Structure formats: structure tokens, C-alpha cells
Chain A
């Protein structure tokens, strides 16, 4: 997991947040603080490509983040998401709320 501000010559002001391989409960205190920090940035890119384990708590956190960011007029997009992540979101009926690609969930 990590939060980084990419070089200024590319997409300035975009925060990129990589989700950890094990994105379950234990990882969420750190993820929450990253996400809270990202609320101030005009755009956030989430990278869920590495996620191999995920639980309801993680998806709840991401859903809440996206909802709150959008309500503040920020942009939230995905750099990519693993099949595990997409499937879990599909199971919990959160694909739309998270704006995850449905195709990957199939």
C-alpha cells in the first residue's frame, strides 16, 4: 500500500493509492488514513490490481470514500482492479457504488 504524488509533469494533483495484497480488516487503519488524506486532492486513482484478499470492511471503506469524494466534487477512478476485488464487489452488490468494471466481475 502506498500513497504517492506522481511527478508534476503528469496528471498534477492526482493522488494514487495502491491497495495492499491482503486488503482485509488489519490493513484498514492505514488505508483509512490514506483515503482521508486523499479527500483533499482533486483526483484519486485507486490501484486494486494487487488485491488477493478482501473483505466486507474493505469494500465498505472504499464505497464510503468514493461516495464522500464524489460529494465533494473530487474525481475517483481505478487504475485497475483484481478479479478477487471485482468478484467481492459483485457479491456484495457494490459494483455500481464503487464504479468497478462489471466485466471483470464475471
Chain B
């Protein structure tokens, strides 16, 4: 198989294995909560598939790691050992290690690290303690040598079982340079040959400083179908090798680097798995489209005005099919949010154990679908919110008891559609936001002068300000200096918003509102001179027309205007983007008050043209990245309008102010 071909399969293997790891994790968590023994089989099967795939697709380290985990599971499955907390704990950590290995495989980095070596050791130790007979297994893990001699004699039936020595030796070649000598001594006469039987044997020298287990992992699936011996090549033979024999080493490194390069390249091209019914419905729509087109085609040959209604009907159909097809194609990018939610049972379990809190996790709306890109980026902000909720929101059992609540706190994750948006809520029934502490901190930081007259929403909003953290004690969970401002920035990068509602002693609800897709945005079209700009609707607070005296100029040339009790900077789009023929006097134009990156600014434009849905075209892909612009779209008249990147503009303004 070519490298490109293998890389393609590796990609699929990695994606499937990550799903397998999710299955292992959720089953382990279910076991932890007293699930039935069938779960052990599920976990074993997932591990077994990963091991087999890893060996096949050139990840021997992963295969050997999974082999250890699988052996332990096998003991549980076979009744030799009862499943208990320490085993579940260790298996969960093994799942983490494997996830790390897959990440490193995607990045083209060495798969093993100190953690995986440690966990592998623990797996072996756990089996070794109760199974002293296996204390000295044939495979000496970690045994290392500069070069190896491998004697590989497949049993006659190996080929028939689908295992091909050609593939195994190719895989071995992935570890380093090979000198392969075939043993033909067992070949029968041609007339007596059964082509499905293997009579060849091999003596292989592997010139690479790898570990024995890395080699053994290649043969993992055929260990019962061959005679195999792996011995370090005597150093006496290796050491006298002067310059010529040493020469292959750089080549090996180059080979390995090339192989990693392929993996890296494959990691960049992410893919999406699509349910077959979505594809069927699309094919169906394309069929309809073709029929309509054929119908319209008849008008080309002969047009009789009496058939005008038919033409109109055809065009209406065409428009409907095009829209349905568009929705259908967009639907391909939509995936259930379950893939993000699924990581939380584990997180909640680990955190609550660590903090001595009791937490019940309630998941709702897992089947709500989100754009794949949004889905990939919403995970981190949600993890932050969940950590915060457990760390700061939910109280320890004693406090809850004292407050008359159930000892076990509830953390609820919910996802649902509202309007054209997806709403994700993270709510807890904990202590709620501490208004006094927030106000005190905000005053300390100079964010506000005093808390008097501030609404609860305004106080809640303070926690999203950069650098704001009220954790009384800095734990290693939250309070690392990156706080809610990062959550807000991540969410606003996705074109969404996040707000908090909180009631003392009753808990908090963080509501993330996200666009359905990043491919189409709702925006207001604003005119600036001859140009048109699209301002994303989600960032707009309101638009105002200023009186001439409402504008204040401050030292350094900045302009400010007063908006609901606070002074906001004015950003003149015609200056920022160099538009000619734009209005310059403040009372002639309009200020669109927008919020991005946690700050509000007023964008000065000539006026508003209208509201429209804009199909986002990447500026980066078609031209180059432009600061303050997130993309472009094509207007109905065929002209190009740039989409304003509010957060980018705010940051740009901040930098100019600082400069």
C-alpha cells in the first residue's frame, strides 16, 4: 500500500478508535456505578479492535499498550479477577493515555511518553501481583538493543487466516532498516503445494534501536500462528561496523521523519462521517433538481407565451429544490452535540472525587445538531464552565446540608434550538454568584466605581471581564488566571454569546447561544462610502444617531460617546478600511453599537442598507487574512461585501490605543 493510502486508512482508524475509546470510557463509568458484567465485554471488544487496528496501521506502541490493557480486561472477563475501583481507575487512565497517543500520532510525535510508560507499568504490575506465574513473561517489556535478530516461521495455516507475512514484514520495516533472508528449506514440491499454505520462513535483521515490545507488537495478532523469536543482535557484530555500516542510520531517521510527515499531513485533513439517510435525501433532491431542469429545458427549444405559468412554476420549483439542497448539504456538517457532552461524565466524576463533592450530572438534548466546526470549538469553553460549576458553584456536602439542600448537587447540561440558534446551557443548583465578592473584586480591579445600582445581569457580566477571577483559594482546577473572559472570547469567535443568570443559594445558569452554522451568518448591511460591509447581527446591541455635541475627543485623538452611562470608543470604519466618499460628520451618519471580545464600541457608518443572510466566503482562502475582516460575501447585485470581524476590530483598537 502506498504511503498516502496507508495515511488515509490511518486517519479512519484513528477516528474509529477515538469512538472506541469513548465507548470504553462510558462503559467504565457505567461499571463504576454498578453496571452489569456485559459492559466488560463491550470494553474488551473496543480495546481488542484498537489493538488490532494499531498493529495493522503501523502504530506498534499503541498496539502493545492496548495489549496490556486488554490482558487485564481478559482476566476480568475470564473471571480470574473481579472488577473493582482500582481496575476501573487504571483502565480510565489507560483510555486517557491512548487518547494522548492518538493525539501524538496525529501530530506525528513519538507515541510513548512518561505517562503512558507509567500506566503500562501499572497495568503489568497489577497483573503481576496476583499472577506471579506470569511474572516473567516471554515478552520482556522495555528490553532494548541496538539491533535485533528475528526468526519468523509462520505455521502452514497462517495465510488462510488472512494474515500475510508480507504485511507484517512491511510493518516491521517501519521500525527501521531490515535485512531479510527467506528460508526456502520447507518448500514442498510444486505439485504438492497448496497455495493457501505457507512454507516460507524468514530470518530478519532489524537495524534499529527499538524495544523488544515494539517488535513483538507487530506480531501481536499472529503469535499463535507462527514460531517467533526476537533476540538482540550480539553487539560484537554491531560494534565493529565502521562508517559504511553506520551510514544507514541517518536514512532511517529520514524514513521515520517522512512517515511522520505523512501522518501530519493526514491529521490536517479532518473528515466527517455522514449518516447514509442524509446522503440518500441529497441524492433524491439532486434527482428532483435534474427533473426540474429538464422541464425548464423544454422552454429553450420553443417558448409559447401561453406556457408562462408553467415556466413560473418551474422556476419556483427550482428555487425550492436549490434551497432544500443547500439545507441538505449544510446538514452534512451537522453532528449531534452528544460527542461533546460525552466527555463530561468522566470529567464530573474525576473532579467531584478530587474535591470531595457529590455531583449528579444531568444531560439533555444530546441529539441536538451543531455545525462540526462549532462543535469542535465549543468543547473547551464548556469544560471551563463545568469545571467552574463544580469548583466554585456547587458546595461541599456539609454546606449543602446546612443550607437545607440535598447533599448531592445537580449539574445540568442542556442543548436545544431557539430561533435560528442553538442554545447550550450549563446550570447548577449551587450557591450562585457571590454578588458582594464580584463587586468588591471589580472595584479593586478598577472595572467599576461601586456596585450601587448595578443590575444582577450587569454584575454577572463582570465575571467575563479579562483577568477577573474571584476564586478565594486558587485550586489547580480553576483559577489559573484564564477565566471566563476566555470562555466569552472563544464563544464570540464562533459568532455566539454567553450570559449568566444566577440566584443566591439556588444556583447559576450559563447560557451559550451559538449560530447553527458558520457558513451563513445573519448580518446588517452597512454603507460606508461606495462600499458595503456586513456587521454580524449577533454582535449588534443597537444603532444610534448622535448629536454633534455627544462626541468627546480625548487626549491622543480618540473619540468617545456616552452610551447608557458609559463612555464607548468610536471606530470610524471609513478610516479603518480607507473608504472614499464616506460621511465624516458624526450627525450625518449612524453609530452601530457592537460588542466583541467583552468590550463595546460604536462603529461609525454612513447608514444601514438592510438585514440579510450572508454566505461566508473565506477571505484567507481566496485572498489573504485581513485584520478586522472575518470574510466576504456576495451581495444580490453581484458585488462583494466584507464581513466585519467585531472581536478583531476591538482588539485592533485596543492595540492602537496601547501603542
Q: Which residues of A are at the interface with B, using a C-beta cutoff of 8 A?
A: 25, 28-29, 31-32, 35-36, 39, 54-57, 59-61, 63-65, 67-68, 88, 91-94, 97
**Contact residue among B170, B181, B200 (Cβ-Cβ distance under 8 Å from A60):** B200
Contact of A91 among B159, B169, B199 (CB under 8 A): B169
A64 contact set on B, CB distance < 8 A: 187-188, 190, 193
- Quick one: closest B residue to A31, CB to CB? B195
B residues neighboring A (CB under 8 Å):
159, 164-166, 169-170, 173, 180-182, 184, 187-191, 193, 195-196, 198-200, 202
CB<8 Å pairs between A and B, sample of 25: A25-B159, A25-B196, A28-B195, A39-B190, A56-B164, A56-B165, A56-B166, A56-B200, A57-B195, A59-B166, A60-B187, A60-B200, A63-B187, A64-B187, A64-B188, A64-B190, A88-B166, A91-B169, A91-B170, A91-B173, A91-B180, A93-B180, A93-B181, A93-B182, A93-B202
In whole angstroms, how far apart are the Cα atoms of A70 and B196 in the complex? 23
CB-CB nearest in chain B for A93: B180
Interface centre among A54, A60, A67, by most B CB within 10 Å? Answer: A60
With A25-B196, A28-B195, A92-B202 as known contacts, state yes or no: A55 contacts B164, CB within 8 Å. Answer: yes
Majority secondary structure, A binding face: helix
How far is B189's CA from A67's CA once the two chains are assembled, in angstroms?
A: 10
Q: Are B200 and A36 in contact (CB under 8 A)?
A: no
- Bound Cα distance from A57 to B200, whole angstroms: 9
| Residues of chain B lying within 8 A (CB to CB) of residue A31 | 195
Knowing A91-B166, A91-B180 are in contact, say whether A67-B195 is a contact too (CB < 8 A): no
Q: Which of A32, A39, A57, A65 lies at the interface centre, i.e. has the most chain B CB atoms within 10 A of its CB? A: A57
CB distance A60 to B199 under 8 Å? yes
Task: Name the CB-closest residue of A to B2.
Answer: A84
Counted as pairs of residues, one from A and one from B, with CB atoms less than 8 Å apart, the total is 71
Q: Which 10 A-B pairs have the closest CB atoms?
A: A93-B180, A28-B195, A93-B182, A68-B190, A56-B166, A56-B165, A55-B164, A93-B181, A64-B187, A64-B190
Chain B residues whose C-beta falls within 8 Å of the C-beta of A60 in the assembled complex: 187, 193, 195, 198-200
Shortest A46–chain B CB gap in Å is 14
Knowing that A31-B195, A56-B200 touch, tell me 13 more A-B residue pairs with CB under 8 angstroms. A25-B195, A25-B196, A29-B195, A55-B166, A56-B164, A56-B165, A56-B166, A57-B164, A63-B182, A63-B200, A64-B187, A68-B189, A93-B181
Contacts of B195 in A (CB 8 A): 25, 28-29, 31-32, 57, 60-61
Q: Is the CB of A92 within 8 A of B169?
A: yes
CB closest residue in chain B, given A69: B190
What distance in Å separates the Cβ of B159 from its nearest Cβ neighbour in chain A?
Answer: 5
Which residue of chain A has its CB nearest to the CB of B162?
A: A25
Contacts of A92 in B (CB 8 A): 165-166, 169, 180, 182, 200, 202
Q: Min CB distance, A54 to chain B, in Å?
A: 8
List the A side residues contacting B182 at CB < 8 Å. 63, 92-94, 97
In the assembly, what is the distance between CA of A57 and CA of B197, in Å?
Answer: 8
* Bound CA–CA A14/B184 (angstroms): 27
**Chain A residues in 8 Å Cβ range of B181:** 93
Residues of A within 8 A of B170 (CB): 91
A65 touches B184 (CB 8 A): no
A18 to B541, CA, bound (A): 76
Distance, CA A22 to CA B202, complexed state (A): 24
Q: How far is the CB of B623 from chain A (nearest CB, A)?
A: 42
Nearest-CB distance from B537 to chain A (Å)? 55
Residues of B within 8 A of A68 (CB): 189-190
User: Is the Cβ of A56 less than 8 Å from the Cβ of B159?
Assistant: yes
Closest beta carbon of chain B to A52's beta carbon, Å: 11
Chain B residues within an 8 Å CB radius of A94:
182
Residues of B within 8 A of A88 (CB): 166
Which residues of chain A are near B169, meaning CB under 8 Å?
91-92
Q: How many Å from the CB of A86 to the closest CB on chain B?
A: 13
- Chain B residues with Cβ under 8 A from A67's Cβ? 184, 187
User: Contacts of A59 on B, CB cut-off 8 Å?
Assistant: 166
Which A residues lie within 8 Å of B173 (CB)?
Answer: 91
Residues in B neighbouring A97, C-beta threshold 8 A: 182, 184
Smallest Cβ distance from B185 to chain A, in angstroms? 11
Report the bound CA distance from A36 to B193 in whole Å. Answer: 11
Question: Which A residues touch B188, using CB under 8 A?
Answer: 64
Smallest beta-carbon distance B4→chain A, Å: 15
Q: Which of B169, B184, B193 has the most CB of A within 10 A?
A: B193
Q: Min CB distance, A39 to chain B, in Å?
A: 7
